[in-house]
Structure 1
Amino acid sequence: MRVLVVTAVAAEAAAVTGAGADTAPGPVLPGGYALTRTPAYDVLVGGVGPAAAAAATATALAVADAAGEPYGLVVSAGIGGGFPPHAPVGSVVVSDSVVAADLGAETPDGYLPVDALGFGRTVHPSPAGLSALLAEALGAVHAPVLTVSTVTGSAARAAELTARHPRAAAEAMEGFGVAEAAAAHGLPVVEIRAVSNAVGPRDRAAWRIGDAMAALRQAFHQLVPVLQEQP
């Protein structure tokens, strides 16, 4: 099974491709997107935020389909914030669903997700068996991962998200965009996040980006044999 891994930035892609596999530059895709190939997966740097991630992912999937080399799985990967106590700093989260946490409308009675308004969707379930297998292989938290357009920076916002999504273990900015593109091509999607900080008040001094990148690298090192076994 061919696997496409989508990261937001080059540093995350380097952690993924640096998991011990041989790498080679892939073709330059329309839009100038960078693609790196390894024996287990291809890695795409898609940009920050759900819109950029969706555009990049859709481009890569369309090029692969046109070449007669379609992917069988799409993975959104990188670092992100963890919701305590579910996902402490340094832990890894594998999605059981990818959720657009702020795609909707504020009303006098509170927030309404876009699907409650009668438009689109806000949840992409990850394939239950595969995502559970990946989480078990990594010793990771298996829970919803939220996609936000604005990273949480206050206790009030963290409490609001936790109240709406009590099982959520992580937040990041790209997963739902990747999932939308994957769904348009009929492909399953899984999100994998290494936790660099707690979701809550913005405190750069408490961020552990290096530790999270190391955890991301180790996660993909462990995943290589698992992905290679998939039909």
Structure 2
Amino acid sequence: MTPHILVVTAVAAEADSVAAGLDRPEAGQTGQTRETGKTEVPLPGGFVLRRHGNVDVLAAGVGPAAAAVAAATALTASASAPTYDLVVSAGIAGGFQPLAPLGSVVVSDAVVAADLGAQTPDGYLAVEELGFGRSVHRVAKPLTDRIAAALPDAVVGPILTVSTVTGTAGRAAELAERHPGAVAEAMEGFGVAEAAAAHGVPVVEIRAVSNAVGPRDRAAWRIGEALAALQSAFRQLSRTAFVELPSCPS
């Protein structure tokens, strides 16, 4: 059975890039897009679900709270039936250098709330170390492997969720030391993952790198290139990994 997938982005430009990848030209029809089954479904709270075949796309707003609210709304609203088999947090991101160069695509093996915890005189404590809550959602390895196989140039590793985007070299170094192997930071993944986990649905994060994590250098940002890479990634996924998913625990 074809899986039903929910893709949650922050802003409309990201949702448009994902949708453009899903509405791929059919063979021999260059420049034409596949419109079959494309509909818009209004949801409570003013959200609009854009349905592209077996994949629904939702622009949630910026930050983990907005992402969690929107994802949970789609997962619970009767208008969004049938039940989802996978939730994807998608968009552009800052990449940790040199692991994730500008324009590359990153795939999560873990979705991490990088600043959910407490600062102490002895250093940072994650929320688990405080004795409550969680700050990490591990992605099922068969799912990460399936998506990485479909995107052979993608970089796999933890993707961090932050509420404040990193703007200094010191902060970037701190995050990289605290989360070895982290490939990118963004602002919505953990919120999406929390909503998915509450509904028992597997989750993964897929992003394209628009800038380096560290000092803010707007002249060096490559947002257009990242959105194009995001579109290309979802075009490939719509032909491969999204056709049949591995059996994974949520």
Question: TM-score, with normalisation over the residues of structure 1?
Answer: 0.96
C-alpha change, 1:147 and 1:30, in structure 2 (3 Å) is: same
Q: Deviations over 1:189-219 (max 9, x none)?
A: 0000100001010000000000000000000
C-alpha change, 1:4 and 1:68, in structure 2 (3 Å) is: closer
* Deviation of 1:67 (Å): 6.4
Structure 2 residue matching 1:146: 3-state secondary structure:
strand
1:154 aligned to 161, 168, 171, which one? 168
Q: Deviations over 1:99-143 (max 9, x none)?
A: 000000000101101111011100001111111110121121111
The 5 A counterparts of 1:180-195 are 180-195=194-209
Query: Could you list the runs of 5+ residues in structure 1 that have no partner in the other structure?
Result: none
Measured in 1, the distance between the counterparts of 2:209 and 2:104 equals: 6
Measured in 1, the distance between the counterparts of 2:125 and 2:244 equals: 41
Q: Deviations over 1:6-27 (max 9, x none)?
A: 0000000000000152352321
2:134 aligned to 94, 98, 121, which one? 121
Native 8 Å contact 1:132 1:142 kept in 2 = no
* Deviation of 1:39 (Å): 1.4
Q: What letter matches 2:116 in structure 1?
A: L
Measured in 2, the distance between the counterparts of 1:67 and 1:171 equals: 29
Q: How many residues align?
A: 230
Measured in 2, the distance between the counterparts of 1:79 and 1:19 equals: 15
Native 8 Å contact 1:40 1:224 kept in 2 = no
Question: Which residue of the partner structure matches residue 30 of structure 2?
Answer: none
Query: Could you list the runs of 5+ residues in structure 2 that have no partner in the other structure?
Result: 24-33
Q: Identity of aligned pairs, percent?
A: 66
The 5 A counterparts of 1:81-96 are 81-96=94-109
Native 8 Å contact 2:143 2:245 kept in 1 = no
- Asked if residue 101 in structure 1 is aligned to residue 103 in structure 2, the reply is no
2:236 aligned to 214, 222, 225, which one? 222
- Asked if residue 28 in structure 1 is aligned to residue 6 in structure 2, the reply is no
Measured in 2, the distance between the counterparts of 1:128 and 1:56 equals: 26
Measured in 1, the distance between the counterparts of 2:200 and 2:229 equals: 30
- Asked if residue 7 in structure 1 is aligned to residue 34 in structure 2, the reply is no
Question: TM-score, with normalisation over the residues of structure 2?
Answer: 0.89
